Amino acid sequence: LKRADGLSDRITDVDSSLRVGARVVMADLITDERIRRHFPALVEAARVVGSMQIRHRATLAGNICNASPAADTAPALLVYGALVNVIGRSGARRVPVVDFFTGPGKTVLAPDEMVAAIDLPMPAVPVGAAFGRLTRRRGVDLASLNVCCLVTPSGKARIALGAVAPRPVLIQEDDGDAMMDRVMAQSSPISDVRASREYRTAMLPVFIRRTLQIAKDRLQRARA
């Protein structure tokens, strides 16, 4: 990536979005004041990606291209409605991040394509968002499950989940409190070295309610 022409290591204002270049590392994403102000849940997710040393090398683009179902930044990008800028031999295209993942380790990228940048549309109204994750231990660990919730002043909510299905899941609903049935229906946890299917299924609603409440509290403070 360092030798590729046209790939930026900057976060820039483009129209009504913040554009995160493909070479922007997690450490720079976390400290950018614009990202912190408008996309705090993404900052929370980026903070738990690997160790400090990894965050100074790993990029946001790389995290989604890896396409792990447990990728921590994916749920945050989903609730914020991110768009992925893709370039290849045939030209450029923009892909909503909700359509970017196709399965474990798989994306819509063709063999000759790569991610050039990720666009984060600026919220048109105050929103509250929060990120949460369950791990086996403190410190560096892959998530057993992760959750990101966003709520709007009208009561609409978006909930994105990781590590509970073959790809990250996004659910949108007019009533955030009525989403649980849809959430559970669209999740299909598996048993692996990090957690059993039964444990993930039991903990998922706990983490959703907890994260959703934090998002609501943040919205209330933003409107105060």
Q: What is the pLDDT of residues 37-47, one digit of tens each?
A: 999 999 999 99
Give dist(CA 160, CA 173) in Å, integer.
12
pLDDT (tens digit per residue) in 89-136: 999 999 999 999 999 999 999 999 999 999 999 998 999 999 998 876
Q: How far is CA 84 from the centre of its chain?
A: 12
State the chain's mean pLDDT as an integer. Answer: 89
pTM comes to 0.90
* CATH class of the structural domain 11-121: alpha beta
199 Cβ partners below 8 Å, 6+ apart? 144
Q: Is 176 helix (H, G, I), strand (E, B) or coil?
A: helix
Alpha helix stretches (DSSP H) within the chain: 26-31, 33-38, 40-47, 52-55, 60-65, 73-79, 97-100, 180-186, 197-223
| Cβ neighbourhood burial of 17 (10 Å; 0-12, 13-18, 19+) | middle
Torsion sign across C-alpha atoms 222, 41, 1, 106: negative
Q: pLDDT digits over 183-204, tens only?
A: 777 777 666 766 677 878 888 8
Residues of the chain with CATH 3.30.465.10: 11-121
Residues 6+ apart with CB under 8 A from 7: 1, 21, 22, 23, 116
Question: Is the confidence at residue 22, as pLDDT, over 90?
Answer: yes
Say if residue 148 is exposed, middle or buried (CB neighbours under 10 Å; 0-12, 13-18, 19+): buried
Distance between the two ends of the chain, CA-based, in angstroms?
A: 43
> What pLDDT band is residue 5 in, cutting at 50, 70 and 90?
low
Domain 128-223 has CATH 3.30.390.50: yes
Start and end residues for every CATH 3.30.390.50 domain found in the chain: 128-223
C-alpha angle 158-162-164 in degrees, rounded to nearest 5: 110
**CA distance linking residue 118 with residue 173, whole number of Å:** 25
